[in-house]
Amino acid sequence: MVRLEQVLDSWKTIRADTAGAVEEFPAGEFGYKPCADVMTFGEIARHILIAGHGLTGLLLEGEEQLGGPQFREKMARFALLPESAGAADLARELRASVERRAVELAAQPPEFFSGIITRVDGARVTRLEMLQFVKEHELTHRAQLFLYMRMKAMVPATTRRRLAKQAAR
């Protein structure tokens, strides 16, 4: 059984590394993308913020149908920063948003998380499963940020921590 506390703690850890990547990547290179038809580093970071804040916001509002033709309009309400926001503002809001949402979600009764909703792709899932999906979605995009960092000869925080543990042995 998946526990809410574990999902929220894991999401906050993932988000801390996401925000750290945003802080470490050269702000002047947020337009970097390795090839055409993919998002830039900055677009990915902003997408992580909007998706995490928006999808959980819809859950907290009691929305049961996350997809559909009005999905983009629903999500647009949760844009926390203007597109012109800089790296420092984006990193700050990435950190603040997950903390706010974790508190709001932790305050919900257990039956809230067992309620069934329809995910963006049409899958029927519990709200807890949807929260797990939000976390996994962020983890996927965080991996993209880390790949972009690697392409710029930067070492992501997760690798630095692992290497530090190995060196300490």
For the chain, which domains are there? 4-168 (1.20.120.450)
Provide the token pair at 69: 């033709």
Asked if residue 82 has pLDDT above 80, the reply is no
State pLDDT tens for residues 5-49. 999 999 999 999 999 999 999 999 999 999 999 999 999 999 999
Report residue 108's pLDDT band, with 50, 70 and 90 as the boundaries.
very high
Q: Are the C-beta atoms of residues 133 and 119 closer than 8 Å to each other? A: yes
Provide the token pair at 63: 């929305």
